[in-house]
A and B are shown apart, each in its own frame.
Chain A
Amino acid sequence: MEDSKIIDLFFRRSREAIPALAEKYGPLCHSLANGILSDRRDAEECVSDAYLGVWNTVPPKRPDPLRAYLCKIVRNLSITRYRANRAAKRDSRYALALEELGDCVSGGTDPAEEWEARELAELLNDFLGRLPPKDRVLFLGRYWFADSVREAGARVGISEKNASVRLTRLRKALRSYLEERGVRV
């Protein structure tokens, strides 16, 4: 079903809306949530909550593109769940990706240098915009979608080893970029 028709179902408050959304994007959402949580049951619950999130925001929103909109909700919910679970679980792909991201920051918190997520997101948008598309997809595949290094590499047609080396360079580049703009990493 086309996205516009799915959105129409949400606007009509139709019982068919969520099943239609799940049928089209369920596998993608489960893959994303499972990559972050490594727990099928938790992932299923996050995906269900994400469908409810779409129900609660459409209308008045008319998300375009719907797929990225849904993915963003799934990722946010999965990370929230991950935080709640992390004392017990440290074996998800997201945990590994998060550890790698530690290369870009020190991990310390300086109250005088607190950066809002939104300000950081603007810097990240700028950083990503400067990257060649291939590097951008590789970086986000790993750190947004919690792909394994092999999967992230496959997205851009390079080997796991090659992807690992390139990701290391990208993390260093991000750290330098942030430092140059006064972000105490």
Chain B
Amino acid sequence: MTREELSQALGQIDTMYIEEVLHTRKKRPRWPFLAAACLVLVCLGTALVRAEPRDLPAEETLPMLSAQLLQEGMGFEGVMVYDVAELSQSNPWTPETQLETLPVYRNLAYTDGAGAPAWLSDREMLALAKETARKMNATITAKTWEPAQEGDRSYSLTAQTDRGTIRVSGNGWITAEFTAPWTLEAAQALAGCRVDASWTDYSFAGEPFPHREAWKGGEAQTEAILRYNFARATFAQDEAGKVWMMGWGDLLGSAEKLGDYGILSLEEARDLLLAGDCLTSVPEEYGGVTREAIGKEELVYVTGNANEVFQPYYKFWVELTDPPGEMAEGLKTYGAYYVPAVSPIYLTDFPSETTSVFQ
């Protein structure tokens, strides 16, 4: 083992220890002891799941997978809504969808758990930036690669133009911040994503926060599922509804197909969830999972670049019985719980007592 590996592992330690140190800046030297006593009470979003390991043969032709699900950052994944129907209804997968297999991909832009993407060459990133500038009718005036060291593969290219800033990441994801905001229609055309996937959640005070998103659309069932998850766009709008920043891309452009894997049915995944075999960042004290508390069921790919593999998961939105914070009357908090959709015969670590850890 190298000291860099040890340092990298240190970067993933429990947040409560980091908070403990942060408190010492203001209140030393006695505070650490008090802080430790307090902070052990705070659950920081890691739930371990337990189950008996399975002893089933795997298909020899397909690589074995880890069920690990890495979401960048910490905290728990949850939404506050008055009605769970306010979440996106655009997913082409529905509980009625019947699927035997789904493709799994290796993320070629994966570098490490920090999530910095490196796959496209400098030339390919520049070509994407130029193409985007052309579509914006803009002229590139300056370019910066990150990191700037010669010989290293870049994570991103930032191009300044006379109409805004374009940033191309090493996985092909593009962001643009406009000098003068665009109409939503023009922004959707720029991204080539016109199928609405917007949703809304709310602040504790009940103020709505619309999330304007779109995807590319697709005809065939599997193609549509893949595009919904990988070929997406997100838009930041100002008070007038104009888009001042947007991000888009097709992440399958930096992925390699590992194969078509047999998947669980929704019912099988739900049974695993109810048995406690799941991956979640929801602290246990916010509420348990019951069949009645499941508000929404969907199938998604987790596409964050901290993941070496892009694989499908069943995602369950579960109403929390004891969520944090004081919410406006009528608001409900739903937490996200994941069950790998890939059959456990292809998974090395699920169900097991060591899975289910968010970064």
Contact = CB atoms under 8 A, between A and B. Distances in A.
Q: Do A and B come from one complex?
A: yes
B32 A81 contact: no
B167 to A, nearest CB: 9
A76 B114 contact: yes
Contacts of A15: 238, 244
Contacts of B19: 65, 67-68
B11 A109 contact: no
Given A59-B211, A143-B7, A81 B147 contact: yes
A117 B28 contact: no
B28 to A, nearest CB: 5
Given A15-B244, A79-B7, A157-B29, A73 B13 contact: no
A177 interface: no
Contacts of A90: none
B68 interface: yes
A136 B17 contact: yes
Contacts of B155: 80
B116 interface: yes
A155 B201 contact: no
Nearest to A123: B9
Interface in B108-149: 111-116, 146-147, 149
Contacts of A170: none
A125 B13 contact: yes
B75 interface: yes
Contact of A144 (B18, B149, B357): B18
Contacts of A63: 73-75
Given A15-B244, A124-B10, A83 B17 contact: no
Contacts of A106: 1
Interface residues of B, number: 68
A117 B149 contact: no
B204 interface: yes
Interface of A: 4, 8, 11-13, 15, 28, 45, 49, 53-54, 56-69, 71-73, 75-77, 79-81, 83-85, 87, 98-99, 101-102, 104-109, 113, 115, 117-118, 120-125, 128, 133-134, 136-137, 140-141, 143-145, 154-158, 183-185
Given A61-B76, A101-B7, A109-B1, 17 more contacts: A12-B209, A53-B73, A57-B72, A61-B75, A63-B73, A67-B19, A76-B115, A98-B3, A98-B7, A105-B6, A106-B1, A117-B112, A118-B12, A121-B13, A125-B14, A154-B28, A155-B29
Interface of B: 1-15, 17-22, 24-25, 28-30, 32-33, 35-36, 44, 68, 71-79, 111-116, 146-147, 149, 152, 155, 201, 203-204, 207, 209, 211, 236-238, 244, 247, 324-325, 336, 354, 357
A-B residue pairs, 8 tightest by C-beta: A157-B29, A120-B9, A63-B75, A84-B147, A121-B12, A76-B114, A133-B36, A155-B24
27 contacts: A8-B203, A12-B203, A13-B211, A57-B71, A59-B79, A60-B79, A61-B76, A61-B77, A65-B15, A69-B74, A72-B73, A73-B72, A73-B73, A80-B116, A84-B149, A104-B6, A105-B2, A107-B3, A108-B2, A117-B9, A118-B113, A125-B13, A133-B33, A137-B32, A155-B25, A155-B28, A185-B1
